[in-house]
Amino acid sequence: MSNETIRIAIQKSGRLTEKTLQILKQSGLEFNLSNNVLFSQCEAFPVELMLVRDDDIPEYVADGICELGFVGFNVLQEKILKKGQSPDNIPILKHLGYGNCRLSLAISKEEEYTGLNYFNGKKIATSYPKSLGEYFAKNDINAEIIEISGSVEVTPKLKIADAICDIVSSGATLKGNNLKEVDKILDSESILVKTPKELKPEQEQTIDRLLARLEGVMKSQRNKYIMMNADKDSLARIKEILPGVDEPSVMPLAGDDGRVAVHLVCEENVFWETMENLKSVGASSILVLPIEKFIS
């Protein structure tokens, strides 16, 4: 590997894989992932991808085998607690806004939930024993935590546990297993983590370049480019309707002295209601366009 090359750990196959590969591609990395490759050297950017199980990513990054890693915050938190490390040991460079989920406690739908005290003396199955243990300790709950590596949601039915603590996003899996979510212990999303080991200055530069590109991708996904025609004197009202816009570009319209073309970048979601409000202050021919790339 050259001085500037960094190795990035990503999940080989799972819920984070597609979005992680997508954000890297949008950042200009080109790679070829055929079946069963564990490593892929990127073209046009000094990065080698390493495809692994998500549970192993915090350790690879902590040990400096990989300089960066894309992983769920829930997995990072559990590993840090398991190792008894300080969170500073694996610094978080970026929250990535996908892979959103929560670690929650759930009980049978038929049970009446009486607050956290409900869990005193109960058996709880989870793949996150450290995160749950810490939460219970903080809240003075005395429960038996049973560590299960998969399909935690079937354990109440099998009478292995009274309740579960698991990752929830839509809640459909809980519902399908006759369970209800009663308490959230952690919010999670995909994050980018960095090794605590000292890197070469060239590697730090590669990381800075990648971070700027990731920021650009995330910003362009949030932002929209809006074009419309409007009366010259309606600009103030247009800016009120579109929060978070920079100064718009205003251009004359050929053959119409009173009206102008207005172009602007909007950081907020643009809904049909927003467009109707623009129309009601005299805007017409309103176009909302996605932004492909963005560097500020």
Three-state secondary structure string covering 215-242:
HHHHHHHHCEEEEEEEEHHHHHHHHHHC
Region from 61-69, 72-80, 89-97, 238-246 binding ligand ATP, contact rule CB under 6 A: 72-80
Q: Which of residues 161-180 bind ligand ATP (CB under 6 A)?
A: 167, 169
Give helix then strand counts, H and E, for the chain. 8, 15
- Give the residues across from 70 on adjacent strands: 192
Q: Are 194 and 93 in contact, with CB atoms under 8 Å apart?
A: yes
- Contacts with ligand ATP in 83-142 (CB under 6 A)? 99, 101
Nearer to ligand ATP, 75 or 260 (CB): 75
**Residue 55 interacts with ligand ATP (CB under 6 A)?**
yes
Say if CB 51 and CB 10 are below 8 A apart.
Answer: yes
Q: 41 exposed, middle or buried (CB, 10 Å; 0-12, 13-18, 19+)? A: middle
Choice between 149 and 285, CB closer to ligand ATP: 149
Nearest approach, Cβ of residue 55 and Zn ion (Å): 4
The listed partner (Zn ion, ligand ATP, none) that binds 15, CB under 5 to 8 Å by sort, is ligand ATP
What residues between 6 and 45 interact with ligand ATP by CB under 6 A?
A: 11, 14-16
Binding partner of residue 69 among ligand ATP, Zn ion, none, CB cut-off 5 to 8 Å per kind: none
Site for Zn ion in 43-62 (CB under 5 A): 54-55
Count of residues touching ligand ATP (by CB under 6 A): 15
Q: Which amino acid is at 218?
A: M
DSSP tag of 117: G
Q: What is the DSSP string of 143-166?
A: -EEEE-SS-GGGTTTTTS-SEEEE
Which of Zn ion, ligand ATP, none has residue 188 at its interface (CB below 5 to 8 Å by kind)?
Answer: ligand ATP
C-alpha pair distances (Å), 230 with each of 185, 205, 258, 267, 286: 49, 45, 9, 20, 9
Given the complex with ligand ATP, which of 193 and 230 has the nearer CB atom?
Answer: 193
Q: How far is the CB of 56 from Zn ion (least distance, A)?
A: 8
Instruction: Catalog residues that contact ligand ATP under the rule CB under 6 A.
Output: 11, 14-16, 53-55, 72, 74-75, 99, 101, 167, 169, 188
Instruction: Catalog residues that contact Zn ion under the rule CB under 5 A.
Output: 54-55
